[in-house]
Amino acid sequence: MSKPLKKISLTKLLHQNKNKWSFIKLRQFYQSLEKILKETCSYAELCTNNGHWLDYTGTEMNSSCFSCSSVKPDCVCELTFSFSQLFEGPVFFYYGLSNYYQNYRQYGVSKDANQLSGDTTYFLSPQDTCSPYQYDSSGKPIVPCGSIANSKFNDTFKLYLMVNGVKTLVPFDGKGIAWWTDYNVKYRNPATVNGSLAKAFDGTVKPPNWPKPAYELDPSDAANNGFVNQDFLVWMRRAALPNFRKLYGRITGGDYSQGLPAGNYTLQINYNYPVVNFKGTKKVIFSNVSWMGGKNEFLGLAYLVIGCLCVVMAIVMLIVYAKYKFSDDDDMQ
Amino acid sequence: MLRRRINLLFGGDEKRVDSRTIYVGHRPCPATEAFIPPKFCDNRIVSSKYTIWNFLPKNLFEQFRRIANFYFLIIFLVQVIVDTPTSPVTSGLPLFFVITVTAIKQGYEDWLRHKADYEVNKYPVIVLEDGRSIRKESEKIKVGDIVEVVEDETFPCDLILLQSTRDDDTCFVTTASLDGESNHKTHYTVPDTEKDLQSLNATIECEQPQPDLYKFVGRMHIYKTDQEPAVRSLGPENLLLKGATLKNTKKIYGVAVYTGMETKMALNYQGKSQKRSAVEKSINAFLLVYLCILISKAVVCTTLKYVWQSQDGQDEPWYNEKTQKEKDTYVYLKMFTDFLSFMVLFNFIIPVSMYVTVEMQKFLGSFFITWDKDFFDPEIQEGALVNTSDLNEELGQVEYVFTDKTGTLTQNNMEYIECCIDGFQYRNSDSMSELDGFCVTDGPVSKLQQKAGRDKEELFLRALCLCHTVQVKEAGPDEIDSDQVDGLVSELSQPDEQRGFIASSPDEVALVKGAMKHGFTFLGLENKSMKIRNRENNVELYDLLHVLNFDPVRRRMSVIVRSKSGETLLFCKGADSSIFPRVRQEEVDRIRMHVERNATEGYRTLCVAYKQLSPEEFAVADAGLRDARLALQDREEKLMAVYNQVETSMSLIGATAVEDRLQEEAAETMEALQGAGMKVWVLTGDKMETAKSTCYACRLFQRGTELLELTVRTLEDGGRKREERLHELLLDYHKKAVQDAPPVKAGVTRSWSTANQEYGFIIDGATLSLVMNPSPDTNSSRYKSLFLQICQNCTAVLCCRMAPLQKAQIVKMVKNSKGSPITLSIGDGANDVSMILEAHVGIGIKGKEGRQAVRNSDYAIPKLKHLKKLLLAHGHLYYVRIAHLVQYFFYKNLCFILPQFLYQFFCGYSQQPLYDAAYLTMYNICFTSMPILAFSLLEQHIAIEYLLDNATLYREIAKNAMLKWGPFLYWTVLGIFQGLLFFFGVKYLFSNPALQDNGQVFGNWSYGTIVFTVLVFTVTLKLALDTRHWTWINHFVIWGSLAFYVFFSFFWGGIIWPFLKQQRLYFVFANMLSSVSAWLVIILLILLSLLPDILLMVFRKPRGPHARQMKRRLPSSGTSTIFMLSQTTSTHSFSWSD
């Protein structure tokens, strides 16, 4: 991840020109291209390419999460930002990691699909691919085993809207953030023993990085535990590239179904996940989706460029064709 | 093969002599001390390669000897042994598929051979044992058994004929299945054997088995109780070959001499040497390039991996800890395994399926030649024949065409035209209407000239009637259709005498019929006496004492007969060059003029001479001939010496002229070949004048062509030493043709009708041997290269008076010359076999001189005119198809693997595959294989009629133009461009992986699936863009493949497959389709990657039907030679009839 080149507020620029799309200045065009190619933006401000995002790694001294970046479990930090106008909903809240190789091959195979489909015979003897998270130091099998499960993202976020100086919680909806088929077909919890999911996990231990075992992931919703925990499923779907984002929750509740109203916001972060030692960054992204999926400037630009190219070529070819045709006729005579 | 070797080994162990002794009927002979039954192999024919037991190991071993298969086996083994990114199945399954298909094909072929062997081996035969006839299976025949064969049966092994039911102790045999000659051949019983085979006590001493069908030497010792053992010589005329069929003879008895795998047929049964096409060499070159790319990719990735890992925190981030085992492994070992893993990951760049597709394309493609209706000849009711499918594309690359004259350029349909007796011409102008027009009382038709004396005339005609090996065909209803050497037989024979003649050479039939027209009819050979009916309708009888057979070295044949009046006469006929030195000179001068004039008119001339042998002379000759025939060793040489001795100091009586018509459309074909940039060389054994006039008639030499002659005649002009003159002429011609020629780029740019001076080159056999084998003392090593350079600058080259081996020598010389041009030989006779085998592509014409050329050829066509379509249309198309196939295969695998390679840069060089294993495996097998196969079979980028009309189009693909590095670079760049586009296009899309309208995020398998979808659609549509000739099959496979891909992806991702460890593609494809962004990017990328091709297509010069108006119309020929010659000779006769 390269350092940002300019420290100018692109937000402003974009907002000024929001109604003047008819003539994009070359400079702006270049900048947006650059943004797409580099995904750069200054720290501690709401950046606006591919959604509004905010870096909270805390490597910079002035960042409020700086104190948390040196490993300190259960560290809490807060970021503030503002929307000058309504951010149209439904708003989706993502967390993003960079320089994080979820597509590493050995990492990717480090899971036991049989365990995850609820086959308890594999609970006691996980597959070798899970190594080194196959058995713990005392020889007990780890469920869910493997590197992917063990490295599950465990930062938690709370968003507050400052209304008249009072913090109001903006609720995240964590349902339906994983693929329907993952939640309903591919991943299955083991059959409960005497109606208790925890008993099915008897004789196994939780992954070392997890604070709680799998069957206690979501105390608020019993159907969101075990392997069919939405956050867990989102994490288990490996990202394609080292810079990625994953869905954390939707903002759909009540007042916010239209989107996030203009105002000042505070994001409270439970900072648990270490990324500094492998030069990674963490960020949160607010994004809305259209009928064609998440916001993606590349697609629009690419179509624009190629469309223009095609028009130019069509004109050139028309001229060429006209010339060719006439000369051809001359030949025939 | 192995079996034969073992047999030879055993045989060699027993006795290392080069002859074998056979006890007829296994009866010990009294003369030898002890009867040791010698061991010979049984009469089992084994043509199959495998048995049930050794099929698997042997077949696998043979398949893995192919370098490509071996490579894939290695990859497979690496995958099994090393921890690699893809499962062994991905490369194991295609390999298994390829191996299985090949094994099934070979197994089936072998099963057919087994079946055929079984039929042959179990065929019931009758063997005489202890006076009784016993039915046996053919495979039980042992050497020495006396076998009975009845009419129309084939001989079960090589037999020495002992007894025949015919009165004259002969039998008739056709060897159609052996050498294709369908005429009846006469074989003789061993003289003086007893009629009662039971009491026959004899041994046969003969040479060890050898494959030459026409050679056999042996001796038979016949023991009689009260006499000295008699010795009889055995020759090929006593030997009945396995595979031949008994005809016109009720029953024969013979003793088996060679059995089973030692029969001449079995020894001849061996595959021809494999000819490899130039395309295959290109493929191998490209493969090498791709192997380098593969290795360098693996090296780059391995290096970068370790560079990247050396950075802080990258090697082992906390979330991806290494196992204890990994930590313990040595770093160099790890590097090596990483290298191997990368190799395995990228190995798909070398397509395993390409070999299968190329093989299938060749195999199926050859059917199009067989099926071509234009090649069907109603006369022989046959079409073209493809003996090898490996060379289809080579037909589009031919640069040199070597053609035989007789039977190829000309029809070999001989018609007697005229004769010249003692210097007087006898011409029968309207032979068809007036069969007996030549009549002494009416005077010769040629009214301008006097006639020769009656004695001379009759002597000449008797000579024609006697000096030949023609057989009179016994009229039988069942034989009318078969065995016709000469199509004119029935028309010409007189109605009251339904007489047909059978001969190995059509000249002889024409001559006998010519004599018939003049009143002398050959009635047949009975009891070694020849019957002829003279003009007075009296039958004359001549005892046939000896036949001095024709051979191409002597170029003449003779008979020795004794007339009723007791005179012993030798009649000899042969080429002028072989007769003139052997007759008196004053006679020569009178006839030479006629011979040369006839030759210039394109007739085949033969001179006839005779000699009266005194009893003493005859006795000497007779003894000499008998001795020579009995000789066991060097029989040929000895016979030749005797022949030469006998055929001397004869007196010349006359000459004959026989017309050989040009083949249909010979001139157009030759002109088209030259227009296509091919150089046509005529290699013939015929005389220079005849050959030259044929060349003019075929328009190989045009009016403006300057002829450069290098023949014995020109060499002797200066009166100096031949070699000096040769040197001088060569330099002179070289200056003319090579140095002074304007510096045009060879072949392609030069149009065939330019105003440039065109040169024709003529050389004869004797001079050629001077050029090829110069005496070592002179500085003549340059002759060959000078000669070659001159020839390469001539439009046409005529080599006359060639021996068969010299033809091959020339082909070889051109083949090995600079640039190694592709050569094609076309011929119809046995004398062309050597050059057919030597050339890159050998083409046989299903002509009249037997089938040997056809059997040894790669392709056989009924007529010369079919060559044009074979080369200009089929060859061109096959070349374009296979070239496109090869380039496309490399291209599609390059843009398949390039994203996978690029992905390594974004996954920490961890060998993470981009595509799912199923896609990796199926890409080449299912998704993209059928469209290219259909394309490579059906594509006609230019319509066939247009190709035929514009021979110059052939030049565009000359010299392997489509498989040169230029086009290869284009395809490679295209592949790289598309690969980059696929990968980075999707990568920028994934800058926000939330592609669904519910905000859910796509993972790495979605990424790979989008790339793969774009890839499959792009490469398939690219092929659709390249397709010029759409058939329903193309539509079916192209759209069907795409539909299959979509269907398969749904299916593969729609079910939890119980046999899979990880359901990583579960619903990936369906989810991808539910994302509009994914659709948009897929469409965009497909369009963008096809854009260069669309542009190219637009800007490429249109090749529409309107161009047809400019096509040249050739004047149609097909008229007889005479018409053509009447045009050409008038202008050229002065220049070459000195």
State the greatest distance between any 2 C-alpha atoms of chain A, in Å, as a whole number: 96
Contact criterion met (CB below 8 Å) for B642 and B625: yes
Chain A residue numbers with beta carbons less than 8 Å from the beta carbon of B996 are 289, 293-294
B29, B202 contact by CB (below 8 A) = yes
Q: What own/partner pairs with CB < 8 Å and gap ≥ 24 does A312-316 have?
A: A313/B1095
Which residue from A179, A245, A303 is facing B1071, i.e. has the nearest CB?
A179
CB contact under 8 A, B1001 and A306: no
Of B492 and A203, which is predicted with more confidence? A203
Statement: residue A26 has pLDDT above 80: no
Strand partners, B149: B252
> Which pLDDT belongs to residue B465?
86
Phi and psi at residue A306, to the nearest 5°: -70, -35
pLDDT value at B20 more than 50: yes
- Euclidean distance between the first and final Cα of chain B, in Å? 57
Distance (Å, whole) CA B20 – CA B264: 15
| pLDDT classification of A11: cutoffs 50, 70, 90 | very low
Specify the DSSP class assigned to residue B27: P
What pLDDT does residue B538 have? 84
**Confidence band, pLDDT 50/70/90 cuts, at residue A2:** very low
Pick the closest to residue B179 from B269, B273, B46 (CA basis): B269
Q: What is the pLDDT of residue B437?
A: 38
Using CA atoms, how far apart are residues B412 and B410, in angstroms rounded to an integer? 6
| Percent of chain B residues topping a pLDDT of 90 | 16
Segment B860-869 shows an average pLDDT of 89
The answer on pLDDT for B1044 being more than 90 is yes
Model confidence band, residue B488 (pLDDT cutoffs 50, 70, 90) = very low
Higher pLDDT, A112 or B697: A112
pLDDT at B112 over 80: yes
Residue B988 has its nearest CB partner, among A36, A131, A295, at: A36
Q: Residues of A numbered 106-125 whose beta carbons fall under 8 angstroms of chain B's beta carbons: which are they?
A: 106-110, 113-114, 117
**How large is the average pLDDT for residues B202-230?**
79
Which stretch of DSSP H or E encloses residue B253?
Answer: strand B251-258
| Mean pLDDT along residues B165-179 | 73
Least confident of B54-58, B1000-1004, B1013-1017, B1128-1132: B1128-1132
Which of the given ranges, B308-312, B480-484, B1077-1081, has the highest pLDDT on average? B1077-1081
Distance separating alpha carbons of residues A286 and A51, to the nearest angstrom: 6
Q: Is A181 in CB contact (< 8 Å) with chain B?
A: yes
pLDDT at A94 (0 to 100):
92
The alpha helices in B493-614, defined as continuous H runs, are: 506-517, 576-579, 585-600
Least confident segment among B40-54, B99-113, B474-488: B474-488
Q: What is the mean pLDDT of chain B?
A: 79
Contact call for residues B607 and B655 (beta carbons, < 8 A): yes
Structure-token pair, residue B1015: 């890839």
Check: CB of residue B997 under 8 Å from CB of residue A291.
yes
pLDDT at residue B447, rounded to an integer: 41
Task: Name the residue with tokens 């497909």.
Answer: B1086
| pLDDT higher than 70, residue B485 | no
What pLDDT is stored for residue B481 in this prediction?
A: 39
The pLDDT of residue B578 is 81
Least confidently predicted of A40-44, B156-160, B619-623: A40-44
Give the residue-averaged pLDDT of B687-704. Answer: 79
- Per-residue tokens: B606: 């033969």
Q: How confident is the model at residue B162 (pLDDT cuts 50, 70, 90)?
A: confident
**Range B291-305 average pLDDT:** 93
* pLDDT at residue B1079 is higher than 90: yes
- Strand intervals (E) in B756-874: 759-764, 796-800, 822-827, 841-845, 859-861
Can you read off the two tokens belonging to residue A140? 């007990």
- Across the interface, do A177 and B1088 touch by the CB < 8 Å criterion? no
Query: Any idea which residue has 């330099």 for tokens?
Result: B731
Nearest to B1004 among A103, A176, A298 (CB): A103
Nearest-5° angle of CA A257, CA A259, CA A265?
A: 120
Q: Is residue A110 within 8 Å of residue A127, measured between CB atoms?
A: no
Alpha helix (H) ranges present in B82-191?
Answer: 88-121, 176-179
Residue B34 pLDDT: 55
Catalytic residues of B: 404
Q: Say what the pLDDT of residue B720 is.
A: 63
Provide the H-helix boundaries in chain A. 10-16, 26-38, 66-69, 105-108, 113-116, 121-124, 147-150, 180-181, 197-200, 230-236, 297-332
Whether the per-residue pLDDT at A229 is higher than 80: the answer is yes
What is residue A215's three-state secondary structure? helix
* Of A238-252, B478-492, B789-803, B1045-1059, minimum mean pLDDT range: B478-492
pLDDT at B16 over 50: no
Helices (H), B842-875: 852-856, 866-868
Q: How confident is the model at residue B29 (pLDDT cuts 50, 70, 90)?
A: low
Instruction: Report the range of poorest mean pLDDT among B497-506, B769-778, B1124-1133.
Output: B1124-1133
Residue B638 and residue B643: Cα distance in Å, rounded? Answer: 9
Residues 850-879 of B with CB under 8 A from A: none
Contact (CB<8Å) B991/A36: yes
In whole angstroms, give the CA distance from residue B133 to residue B316.
91
CB B395, CB B878: distance < 8 Å: yes
Yes or no, beta carbons of B1004 and A291 under 8 Å apart: no
List CB contacts of B107: < 8 A, sequence separation 6 or more.
B50, B55, B59
pLDDT value, residue B1136: 34
Banded pLDDT at A234 (limits 50, 70, 90): very high
From residue B63, how far is each of B95, B102, B103, B250, B889 by CA, in Å?
A: 11, 8, 8, 50, 22
Give yes or no for residue B608 having a pLDDT over 70: yes
| Range B537-565 average pLDDT | 82
Alpha-carbon distance B1047 to B1013, whole Å?
12
Of the candidate ranges A156-160, B236-240, B412-416, the one whose mean pLDDT is the lowest? B412-416
B1137 or B460, higher pLDDT:
B460
Judge whether A127 and A135 are in contact, CB under 8 Å: no
Domain borders along chain A are 1-40+297-333
Which of A112, A136, A175, A179 to probe by mutation at the B interface, max B CB count within 10 Å? A179
Of the listed ranges B287-296, B587-596, B617-626, B1047-1056, the one predicted with least confidence: B587-596
Residue of higher predicted confidence among B1125 and A163: A163
Q: What is the pLDDT of residue B925?
A: 84
Q: Answer whether residue A254 shows pLDDT above 60.
A: yes
Q: Is the pLDDT score of B899 beyond 90?
A: yes
Q: How confident is residue B119, by pLDDT bands cut at 50, 70 and 90?
A: confident
Give the residue on A whose Cα is nearest the Cα of B319: A151
Rounded CA-CA distance B1007/B958 in Å is 44
pLDDT higher than threshold 80 for residue B439? no
**Chain A residues within an 8 Å CB radius of B990:** 240-241
Q: Tokens for A173? A: 């909806």
Indicate the pLDDT class of residue B195, thresholds 50, 70 and 90. low
Comparing alpha-carbon positions, the chain A residue that sits nearest to B314 is A278
Of A20-34, A219-233, B391-405, the range with the lowest mean pLDDT is A20-34
The radius of gyration of chain B from alpha carbons, rounded to an integer in Å, stands at 36
Q: Say if CB B736 and CB B708 are below 8 A apart.
A: yes
Are A274 and B1088 an interchain contact pair (Cβ–Cβ within 8 Å)?
no
Residues 936-995 of chain B whose Cβ lies under 8 A from any Cβ of chain A: 985, 987-995
Residue scoring higher pLDDT (B499 or B68) = B68
For chain B, the 3-state helix, strand and coil shares in percent, each to the nearest 5, are: 50, 20, 35
Sign, CA torsion B395/B399/B400/B405? positive
Orientation angle between helical segments B929-938 and B352-371, nearest 10 degrees: 30
Higher pLDDT pick, B423 / A214: A214
- Tell me the Cα Rg of chain A: 25
Per-residue model confidence (pLDDT) at position A241: 92
Distance between CA B186 and CA B183 in Å, rounded? 10
Residue B373 has pLDDT above 70, yes or no: yes
Tell if the pTM clears 0.90, that is, is over it. Answer: no
The single-letter DSSP state of residue B736 is I
Contacts A–B by Cβ distance under 8 A: 193
Q: Write the pLDDT tens digit of every residue in B665-678.
A: 888 898 899 889 88
B323 touches chain A (CB under 8 A): yes
ipTM, 2 dp: 0.88
The Cα of A299 is separated from the nearest Cα of chain B by a number of Å equal to: 7
What's the whole-number mean pLDDT along residues B1083-1090?
A: 93
Residue A7 confidence (pLDDT) above 70: no
Percentage of residues in chain B with pLDDT exceeding 70?
83
Give me B573's structure tokens: 């006929």
Could you count the other beta carbons within 10 Å of the beta carbon of residue B1079? 17
